[in-house]
Structure 1
Amino acid sequence: MNGAPCWVSLMARDLEAAQTFYGAVLGWTFRPTTLGDEFSLALNNGAAVAGIGALAPSLQAAVAWTPYFAVDDADLVSARIRERGATVAVGPLPMHTGRATLAADPDGAVFGFWEGRTVAGWSVGRGSAPARLELRTRDAFAAAIFYGQVLGWGSDEKESCEVHYEDDQVLVRDGAHTVAALRGGAIESAPDPQIRPRWHVYFRVADVGAAARAAAVGGGVVVTPPDLTPAGEEATLRDPDGGLFTIVSA
Structure 2
Amino acid sequence: MTQVGQGRHGSPCWVSLAARRLHQAQAFYSAALGWVWRPTPLGEEFRTALSDGSPVAGVGELAASLQAAHSWTPFFAVDDAGAIAARIHERGGTVAVGPLSLGIGRAALAADRDGAVFGFWEGATPPGWSVGRGRAPAWLELRTRDALAAALFYGEVFGWASEGGLCSVGYEHDEVIVYEAECKVASLRGGAVEAAPDPQLRPRWYVHFRVSDVDAAVAAARAAGGTVATAPTDLSAGRQATLRDPDGGLFLVTAA
TM-score (norm 2): 0.93
Cα displacement string for residues 5-28 of structure 1 (whole angstroms, at most 9, x for unaligned residues): 010000111100000000000000
2:168 maps to 162
Q: Distance in 2 between matches of 1:192 and 1:208?
A: 29
Q: Distance in 2 between matches of 1:60 and 1:176?
A: 38
Give the unaligned 5+ runs of structure 2.
1-7
- Out of 52, 77, 94, the residue aligned to residue 101 of structure 2 is 94
Q: Distance in 2 between matches of 1:159 and 1:60?
A: 34
- Out of 147, 153, 158, the residue aligned to residue 151 of structure 1 is 158
Structure 2 matches for 1:115-194, cutoff 5 A? 115-156=122-163, 158-194=164-200
2:53 maps to 46
Structure 2 matches for 1:2-151, cutoff 5 A? 2-151=9-158
Counterpart of 2:174, as a letter, is D
Counterpart of 1:173, as a letter, is Y
2:249 maps to 243
Q: Distance in 2 between matches of 1:58 and 1:176?
A: 39
Number of aligned positions between the proteins: 249
**Mean Cα displacement is larger for which, 227-236 or 138-147?**
227-236
SS of 1:112 mapped into structure 2: strand
Q: Distance in 2 between matches of 1:57 and 1:120?
A: 30
SS of 2:50 mapped into structure 1: strand
Q: Pick closer, same or farther for the CA change 1:214–1:114 going to 2, 3 Å.
A: same
Q: CA deviation at 1:56?
A: 4.9
2:3 maps to none
**Mean Cα displacement is larger for which, 97-106 or 218-227?**
218-227
Counterpart of 2:215, as a letter, is G
Counterpart of 1:249, as a letter, is A
Q: Distance in 1 between matches of 2:65 and 2:12?
A: 29
Q: CA deviation at 1:77?
A: 0.6
Q: Distance in 1 between matches of 2:64 and 2:140?
A: 28
Q: Distance in 1 between matches of 2:153 and 2:175?
A: 15
Give the unaligned 5+ runs of structure 1.
none
Cα displacement string for residues 73-130 of structure 1 (whole angstroms, at most 9, x for unaligned residues): 1111100111122110111111222111110001000000111122111111110100
TM-score (norm 1): 0.96
Q: CA deviation at 1:228?
A: 2.1
Q: Does the CA contact (< 8 Å) of 1:12 and 1:55 recur in 2?
A: yes
Q: Does the CA contact (< 8 Å) of 1:107 and 1:197 recur in 2?
A: yes
**Mean Cα displacement is larger for which, 75-84 or 57-66?**
57-66
Q: CA deviation at 1:207?
A: 2.1
**Mean Cα displacement is larger for which, 100-109 or 184-193?**
184-193
Q: Pick closer, same or farther for the CA change 1:58–1:36 going to 2, 3 Å.
A: closer
Q: Distance in 2 between matches of 1:218 and 1:241?
A: 12
SS of 2:15 mapped into structure 1: strand
Q: Distance in 2 between matches of 1:227 and 1:59?
A: 35
Q: Does the CA contact (< 8 Å) of 1:62 and 1:242 recur in 2?
A: no
**Mean Cα displacement is larger for which, 223-232 or 126-135?**
223-232
